[in-house]
Amino acid sequence: MNLWQARQKSVEWLATELVEHNALIDTGFEILDKCIALLNQHSKTLNDQFNGRFARVVNLNLAKTRNLLLGSYSMLLDALAQEAGALLRPILEAYELLIYFRLEPTRIHQAIDGKLPSAGKRAKKIRGEFKGLRDHLNTHASHISFGYESAKHLLDYQTSEVKAIQNQSIDVFKRNLSTLNAFQLLIVSEVISCIDVIGNTPESLLEEYKDWRLKSIEASPFPADES
């Protein structure tokens, strides 16, 4: 029994037809790691000053987000995109937390004291734009559900049987990679804004981010935001 046949096929595609998308995802993680290292540096340099505490709280959130993104990527390799949606919900939470802290940096004390408002209340305060997506994920991905959207990938409509093994086409995999890349872009953009709260982001990191962002937009099947 080969539990990893979907992953093996995905890795094949990443080395051939989807090598560009592979590079974009890898670069996204590399930039996230550089942001984590930079925030660690600020945390040590500024120590118990407010900006040092701000760096630590933001960095803990960022490291957790990186793990969630990597977990989601791993599930995409295994053709488990629908199940990966369960991880997308906390990724959205983590992204909105970055905005929440950046808009009013003293809110980090709520995190330190264990008194953060609920995710829904935080989203309202920052005028978050993902309520519809969160509701969709809550209904169809974060919990066990037997509705069409939750279960359609589990059925073989030709045989009317439940499938034990999931698979995907290269087009579906490519689109899911673009979605993951889009959330990498959102997270990195907001982290850079948070870093700017306590000091300037190094020019070399900004240039790397801008180059990666342009390449990601060019490779994406989704319409670019013109605003």
Summarised one tens digit per residue, pLDDT across range 185-205 is 999 999 999 999 998 899 999
What type of residue is 72? S
Query: Would residue 136 be called left, alpha or beta, if left means φ above 0 and alpha means ψ between -120 and 50 degrees?
Result: alpha
User: Across residues 103-132, what is the average pLDDT?
Assistant: 88
Summarised one tens digit per residue, pLDDT across range 119-174 is 888 888 888 676 666 665 666 555 455 555 656 665 665 776 666 677 889 999 99
> Which residue from 83, 94, 73 is spatially nearest to 22, judged by alpha carbons?
73
Global pTM value: 0.85
